[in-house]
């Protein structure tokens, strides 16, 4: 019995209670980083204006926003413009959610290596404030995103004029029982979650710290 107690005592004291965690545990010490933080982007970079990759990234943002608005607006109008009112006659609310989420998934996957896959001025503006984009690229991205959104909605209006005008272009409206302040608060929270997710997914520290975590962990 004394031998077992001695084994337990030695095992408990073999390792210190204060072990480094996270990136410090993976590196050689607390001051050693196992990730590289990218340098802040310059505020204004005129050299980008002569680079083809700069304009290629803007075209990617334009096409991504164009396709996103085209598919999502058509899906919304197909649901709210259903004259029969039958739940089986349209894709329903779940179909709208799948169209938005699915399009974002596909478009970010296709454009992430070209422009970063922003597809949203809020994401671009947030990355600019974090010094991950120059002012030149941020303004160009936002202009191309807005033009893509306008063209996407314009194509829908051209193909489905009656349906488009009869349903207000598929624009959001405050549901009965809620005020405009409630709607504004929901938009603020939703935009915060979106930008926070983008920052979390692109954080160099997170990539190093959670490198052992499988990509499918959130699904599992």
Give the tens place of pLDDT for each residue, 55-100.
999 999 999 999 999 998 888 887 776 655 555 667 777 888 888 8
Average pLDDT estimate for 23-43: 61
For a pLDDT cut of 70, what percent of the chain falls above it? 71
With cut-offs at 50, 70 and 90, classify the pLDDT of residue 166.
confident
Alpha helices in 17-114 (DSSP H): 23-26, 52-80, 92-111
Which tens digit of pLDDT belongs to each residue from 91-140? 777 888 888 888 988 998 898 888 888 899 999 999 899 888 889 999 99
Rounded distance between C-alpha atoms, residue 108 and residue 214, angstroms: 20
Instruction: Give the angle 74-78-83 at the CA atoms, nearest 5°.
Output: 150
Look at the pTM and tell me if it is higher than 0.85.
no
Average pLDDT estimate for 143-164: 89
- Which of 112, 115, 134 has the alpha carbon at shortest distance from 201? 112
């Amino acid at each position: 019995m004394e031998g077992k107690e001695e084994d337990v005592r030695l095992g408990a004291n073999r390792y210190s209670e204060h072990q480094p965690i996270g990136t410090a545990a993976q590196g050689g010490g607390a001051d050693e980083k196992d990730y590289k933080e990218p340098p802040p982007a310059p505020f204004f970079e005129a050299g980008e204006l002569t680079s083809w990759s700069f304009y290629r990234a803007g075209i990617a943002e334009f096409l991504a926003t164009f396709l996103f608005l085209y598919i999502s607006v058509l899906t919304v109008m197909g649901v709210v413009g259903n004259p029969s009112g039958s739940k089986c006659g349209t894709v329903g609310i779940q179909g709208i959610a799948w169209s938005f989420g699915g399009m974002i998934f596909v478009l970010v996957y296709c454009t992430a290596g070209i422009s970063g896959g922003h597809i949203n001025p809020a994401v671009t503006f947030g990355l600019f404030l974090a010094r991950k984009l120059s002012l030149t690229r941020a303004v160009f991205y936002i202009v191309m995103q807005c033009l893509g959104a306008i063209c996407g909605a314009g194509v829908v209006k051209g193909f489905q004029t009656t349906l488009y005008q009869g349903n207000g272009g598929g624009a959001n409206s405050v549901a009965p029982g809620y005020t405009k302040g409630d709607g504004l608060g929901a938009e603020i929270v939703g935009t915060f979650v979106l930008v926070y997710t983008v920052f979390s997914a692109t954080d160099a520290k997170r990539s190093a710290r959670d490198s052992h975590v499988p990509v499918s962990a959130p699904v599992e």
